[in-house]
Amino acid sequence: MKIQREVLWEAVVQCDRSYDGSFYYAVKTTKIFCRPSCKSKTPKQENVEFFFDIAEPFRKGYRPCKRCRPDLSPTYDPQRELIAKVKEVLEDEYHKPWTLHTLSKQFWNQLLPPSTDV
């Protein structure tokens, strides 16, 4: 069963995690491909290409997004990974006077994607 382009596009716009692993989308202008659930800026629809096999975007010269990591398991969740890292730091260094400000400074680069990503 082939999914219609409109359905795929809506999944991208909604960052719909239920489609992760079913398809990937690539942005022609950046040469980056993502999962449907990627939280990066929504690209212009005319710049998007869809793939149903993870090998296809690689063959066409796209690289995986550094934010959503489509090259990893479909169950990979970058937000959970960040939360786990913060939790580990808090458990290991509980004696420090952590504030939201100091935590955000330490993890800021992991909260935002590189500016070259979608």
DSSP 27: E
- The answer to whether residue 34 is catalytic is yes
Select which of 34, 38, 65, 68 is catalytic: 34
Write the DSSP assignment of 58-114 as a string of letters: HHTT-EE-TTT-TTS-TT--HHHHHHHHHHHHHHHTTTS---HHHHHHHHHHHHS--
How do 48-51 and 63-64 pair as beta strands?
Answer: unpaired
d(CA 31, CA 60): 9
Catalytic positions, written as ranges: 34
